[in-house]
Amino acid sequence: MANVINVVGECSNVGKTTLIVGIIKELKSRGFSVGTIKHHSHKLDLDKKGKDTYKHREAGAEEVCITSEGRTAIFIERELNLEEVISLFKHKDFIIVEGYKNSNLKKIEVYNSKLSTKIITKKENLICVASDIELNIDNIKVIDRNDYKKLADIIIAFKEGVV
């Protein structure tokens, strides 16, 4: 899965989402298609009681899809595992996963000097570290977390098997 990159951090608020947004914009500016997957640790409910899709689910439909001009949403009445969700995006040039820090996916770890205390990713799964300070990690690239061009270059090289 060379087109799947997992962005992780030791804790919340280290800058994962900001990093992902910057990488998405850079990859899109180069003509690539990008899908994202975000792990949410709380109960997720985007449907509203009384709406038609809610009534469909309440009646027992395991999957409900709603489409409108410019947007589609699918409600599935169970948590999908990461591989199932990735398969929904297989047509994308790149899939960026936020969270799922225990997955075996190759990762970019975000290090924030104000919040991070250590690198949590096993070296064999680490593509690089995106940091706000210089770090010395044996045989691991450390990139300025605001250098989205360089991060996109690394992601593209990873997809091509160069990294």
C-alpha 92/C-alpha 66 separation (Å) is 22
Q: Are strands 71-76 and 126-131 parallel, antiparallel or unpaired?
A: unpaired
Mean pLDDT score of the chain, rounded to an integer? 93
Q: 2 falls in which pLDDT band (50, 70, 90)? A: low
Residue 1's pLDDT band, with cuts at 50, 70 and 90, is low
Structure tokens belonging to residue 108: 């970019």
For the cut 90, the answer to whether the pLDDT of residue 87 exceeds it is: yes
CA distance 46 to 162: 40
Res. 105 pLDDT band, cuts 50 70 90: very high
Q: What CATH architecture does domain 4-42+78-159 belong to?
A: 3-Layer(aba) Sandwich (3.40)
Share of the chain above pLDDT 70, in %: 98
CA atoms within 13 A on the CB side of 8: 22
Domain residues of the chain, as ranges? 4-42+78-159
Q: Which is it for strands 71-76 and 63-68: parallel, antiparallel or unpaired?
A: antiparallel
Neighbouring residues of 29: CB distance < 8 A, sequence distance ≥ 6: none
Question: How confident is the model at residue 142, as a pLDDT?
Answer: 96
Q: Give the pLDDT score at 11.
A: 94
CA 120/CA 123 separation, integer angstroms: 9
Identify the pLDDT of residue 75. Answer: 86
**Per-residue pLDDT tens digits for 25-77:** 999 999 999 999 998 877 777 778 898 988 998 999 999 999 999 999 898 88
